[in-house]
Structure 1
Amino acid sequence: MSDEIKHECGLAFIRLRKPFSYYKQQYGTVLYGLNKLYLLMEKQHNRGQDGAGMASVKLATEPGNPFLYRIRSNEPRAIADIFSQISQEISELEKYQPDLLQHPDIVKGHIQAMGELLLGHLRYGTQGRNNVEFCHPFIKRHTVKSRNLVMAGNFNLVNTEELFSLINIDPGVFQRQSDLAAMLETIHYFLVQEDEQHPGAMDVSRILKKATALFDGGFTFGGLVGNGEAFVMRDANGIRPAYYYVNEDVIVGASERAAIRTTFNVGENEVQELMPGCALIVHADGTYAVEQILEPRERKACSFERIYFSRGNDEKIYKERIALGRHLSEPVLKAVNNDLRNTVFSFIPNTAEVAFYGLLKGMEGYLNKIKVERILSWGKDYDEEKLAEMVNRRIRVEKIAIKDVKMRTFITEDAGRNEMVQHVYDITYGTVERGKDALVVIDDSIVRGTTLKESIVRMLSRLEPTKIIIVSSAPQIRYPDCYGIDMSKLGDFIAFRAAIALLKERGMENVLHDTFNACKELQRNNALHTANLVRNIYAPFTPEEISGKIAELITPKDIKIPIQVIYQTIEDLHASCPTNLGDWYFTGNYPTPGGNRVVNKAFLNYMEGRNVRGY
């Protein structure tokens, strides 16, 4: 993705079902659980760049002994930092007690992180700053063991203020900035009630039903209770992903199927999807159940997971990204007038690479069809040289764009900073025949268009192609997201800016003012959640008109080479990713009422000149 946006957080949960002596005997180490947690987190490293954390709960500890541990880091290599600290503690123990790891029953009490329940998290900050205290897991401590709660997750809620009011808590500055703080306080509130009413017979399912019925947003979260109970839960629309795996040794939960498969070396069908509204509930005795906590609503699994966020080594995601690229082949062929002889294809590194292969497959299919038709039309009028020339025709592929190491600049002036931004990407010179070849470059999505304008288009123009065609494997991003992705300001979106420009060009500013007044009316009636009025901004224009204006907006004034932008259609997105139909950032069809409130609030902020979040 050329425009950086905040990604989804990642969750890793492990419950060891056997004594530590078993893992020592079966796998050769008492550190089996910690080793697997490290792998499970690293295999989801794509989901967290702002920090990481892990927590553990020890079972059957003697009164007065520590049973709950947590460590967090916001270092550049946060996972490595966390586990190096744990490793250092183990090394220190081995230095003074060399045989300690050979005694599983003893070592548990000497290594803080070593517990039967493990919860890991990888963080991309959406709400809140990136200080280490914002890294998950969070802990709610209590003098009663069964009232200690650890939580981490991948989510955004749009009603945190309401949650604090419902449980009669006046949140502090820190709590107001964290969705997890609101979720933790809410679940803990019902946890304490449950423990008071049913001491020694806690029902986690009942707790979750009471608490999550109050949540408005998309979420997958995990929790550990001090008495050994644990859970992983997914929202009722299935917006955020969740998978689990169970065998006789472990119970595992994670945000990505492929991470579990790789870490535990298991087949695709052995890893199950946690279905919308369900919770994986693990009891203190090691038994488990998957229970329906919330009534499932229309499935709206996030399509961006398939386009971009999740790693592409999951076989289904790989095939879907291939399909996304293949579906774009027809409009691209039209854009180059079917002239493959004078067209060079490339991609924006690195996440668009798989969609690029799909685009190539579509092009190859067309080229092979042409080859067959031409050869058949010759009858017997050909020789070996003529046949060889036709058979050996290939789609012209080049590694055009090269993403340099992440550049940092200490220049604060806009002109100097823009100069530095131009060099985020570099090009391979000599790959395009000047003044003769068209250049097609695919990106997985276009959010703000800033990097395209300031870096990529300017860079590609140095090759002097006849035309530059920017292809997006995702549709136009038109609306804010409030379920995990940090896309909350309408003015950031190039599609929105294009629609505004078209309204002004055509003397239709009244649409802006009418929509603003309608939003203010909904706000006065506390009804911002009832409808998405921002659709009115896009309604007068076709997707092609908006794409045309986007092409103008991303073209620097001094660049004279024609620029065209081609987007994926909504229909082809759904055909490519049939199980992830959540498309609210493209269509405005929000799965919860809170989404409508966010988009309308974002529009009010834009019109009133406030550069703040919509939630």
Structure 2
Amino acid sequence: MCGIVGVVSNAPVNQLIYDALLLLQHRGQDAAGIVTQHERKFFMHKAKGMVRDVFRTRNMRALPGNSGLGQVRYPTAGDASSEEEAQPFYVNAPFGIVLVHNGNLTNAHVQKAELFNTDHRHTNTESDSEVLLNVLAHELEKATRGTSLGAAEVFAAVANVHRRVRGSYAVIAQIAGHGLLAFRDPFGIRPLCIGKSKDGTVMVASESVTLEGTGHVFERDVAPGEAVFITLDGQVHSQLCAERSQLSPCIFEYVYLARPDSVLDGISVYQARLNLGQTLAKRVISMVPPNEIDVVIPIPESSRPSATELAHLIGKPYREGFVKNRYVGRTFIMPGQAVRTRSVRQKLNAIASEFEGRNVLLVDDSIVRGTTCREIVQMAREAGARKVYMASAAPPVRFPNVYGIDMPTKEELVAHGRTIEEVRQIIGADALIYQDVNAMKKAIGALNTHIKDFDASCFDGIYVTGDITDSDIARMKDQRVVSRASDDDDVHQAQSNAASA
């Protein structure tokens, strides 16, 4: 999971890209990078850390130009400790190309071998994004042999990229002296949208909140398999480049990843979470009589919309029982189980008066590893709760995700291979209520009937690309980022006031 943005303007874009990355900080807290273009030269600064820490005044002054792109990184493959794997990535031929990527290639190993043996291109890191950049560069080189580069050649190259690579990818690339290219995988798994400002500036970004928060008007989502090419004078060209495409966005974006004030593929993230609260209320009523619940308390912050709707429907008061320290990052995307465990009590503090002597229903957006839930249930008991019920707005996470979310190993998922009763015992709750998979899909899908299916693979084990085998999952497990291989590595613990989804 990463956040990406690209801009073409008639004025300097360094500050605009910086502001956009701040609005995307929730999508990645490991590293940040910006590239701008001025007189056919690229100017780059990238480093590990949060946006506000990576970019100082001297760095911003060294980023001239009226077009550029940026990324906030949350690594899922490769070596998170290596600054070389921070994005953007750059190749000098053809033309000079820089690229940022949100997603995860599932056949990067095949493409890496083909790049070396057939295309005679070298990659210097373990990042699948560098593989994607070199595939794009090779296809652009083929498309422009004996001719100049225009929109037609760009679209031909992207069509060949779609034929070669598999997985999830929302991509923004800058081609030196020509323009900005953005494209999305044929399933539209990861989000990407485009908008304009009154002065003609064109922006492409992961979430609509990025456009709105920087004074741009949202125009539309980039379609699955579509490429958008923006020339340096602001002309926008677009074309569907995939042979077959279908919109199957990642449902976890709506459950947890995206900001609630974003609209992804025509669906309000906030309304999606309200709808999840409605369906979850029905599950709660069927398992725990409302007269046994005194109060509904959300686990900040993603679960608040679902919790408010649930409380209203079961007729119980909604109260804020936990205070969040906004200067500690999101535990789900922290690198290392020990770091996650230590950070929970730094991140949340219970208000004892809201728990003492009460039967409380805690509502979380999802339960992935169970570490946070177990700690929070214990905190509620220590604050004086008589009984602690736990409800999850998402179904049990039972399967690895291979499309860019850090849940790639079955062993780390608390619900994998366990019954709900066994999970309840692990987290220590008096009752555990999960959302139903089909109810989740219906609740969110009702907000855009044009979406026929979602990628809900971490819940139902169905991978929308249709090409994932057990051996693929085992291989990707071995390729996990180095920093997540050790529970003792707390180098990357984020200190963030990032907007939480």
* TM-score tier (shorter): 0.7 to 0.9
Structure 2 residue 353 is the aligned partner of structure 1 residue 430: yes
Q: For 1:569, give the aligned amino acid.
A: D
Number of equivalenced pairs: 457
User: 2:91 — aligned with what?
Assistant: 140
- Equivalence map 1:388-407=2 (5 Å): 395-404=316-325, 406=328
1:121 offset after TM fit, Å? 0.8
Distance 1:256 1:568 in 2: 25
- Equivalence map 1:454-493=2 (5 Å): 455-493=375-413
What secondary structure does 1:426 align onto? strand
Structure 2 residue 33 is the aligned partner of structure 1 residue 53: yes
Q: For 1:335, give the aligned amino acid.
A: M
- Which of 263, 272, 291 is equivalent to 1:320? 272
More strand by share: 2
Distance 1:461 1:332 in 2: 20
Q: With the length of structure 1 as denominator, give the TM-score of the two structures.
A: 0.69
Query: What do residues 93-121 of structure 1 show as CA deviations (whole Å, max 9, x unaligned)?
Result: xxxxxxxxxxxxxxxxxxx4222321111
Q: For 1:43, give the aligned amino acid.
A: L
Query: What do residues 453-476 of structure 1 show as CA deviations (whole Å, max 9, x unaligned)?
Result: 2x1122112244443211111111
- Equivalence map 1:39-438=2 (5 Å): 39-58=19-38, 61=39, 67-75=41-49, 77-82=50-55, 84-87=57-60, 89=61, 112-130=62-80, 131-142=82-93, 147-169=95-117, 174-175=124-125, 177-199=126-148, 203-246=153-196, 249-266=200-217, 270-314=218-262, 316-339=268-291, 343-363=294-314, 367=315, 395-404=316-325, 406=328, 420=342, 423-424=345-346, 425-434=348-357, 437-438=358-359
Instruction: Structure 1 unaligned segments of length 5 or more: list them.
Output: 1-7, 21-30, 90-111, 368-394, 408-415, 499-545, 556-561, 606-610
What secondary structure does 2:396 align onto? coil
Q: For 1:244, give the aligned amino acid.
A: I
Distance 1:167 1:420 in 2: 42
Distance 1:604 1:148 in 2: 33
The structure-2 alpha-carbon separation of the partners of 1:492 and 1:249, relative to structure 1 and needing over 3 Å to count, comes to: same
Q: Which moved more, 1:184-193 or 1:574-583?
A: 574-583
The 4+ residue runs of structure 1 with deviation greater than 6 A are: 170-173, 416-419, 602-605
The structure-2 alpha-carbon separation of the partners of 1:167 and 1:358, relative to structure 1 and needing over 3 Å to count, comes to: same
User: 1:518 — aligned with what?
Assistant: none
More helix by share: 1
1:451 offset after TM fit, Å? 2.3
User: 1:521 — aligned with what?
Assistant: none
User: 1:549 — aligned with what?
Assistant: 422
Calculate percent identity across the aligned residue pairs.
21
- Which of 350, 366, 371 is equivalent to 1:445? 366
Structure 2 residue 448 is the aligned partner of structure 1 residue 569: no
Distance 1:290 1:598 in 2: 37
Q: Which moved more, 1:252-261 or 1:398-407?
A: 398-407
- Which of 433, 444, 457 is equivalent to 1:584? 457
What secondary structure does 1:488 align onto? coil
The structure-2 alpha-carbon separation of the partners of 1:83 and 1:236, relative to structure 1 and needing over 3 Å to count, comes to: farther
Q: Which has the larger radius of gyration?
A: 1
Query: What do residues 416-442 of structure 1 show as CA deviations (whole Å, max 9, x unaligned)?
Result: 9999567344322132353xx321000
The structure-2 alpha-carbon separation of the partners of 1:201 and 1:237, relative to structure 1 and needing over 3 Å to count, comes to: closer
Q: For 2:89, give the aligned amino acid.
A: F
The structure-2 alpha-carbon separation of the partners of 1:587 and 1:344, relative to structure 1 and needing over 3 Å to count, comes to: same
Query: What do residues 224-273 of structure 1 show as CA deviations (whole Å, max 9, x unaligned)?
Result: 1113232100000010000001466122100001210221253xxx4211
Distance 2:150 2:182 in 1: 20
Q: For 1:68, give the aligned amino acid.
A: F
Distance 1:167 1:331 in 2: 51
CA RMSD of aligned residues (A): 2.9
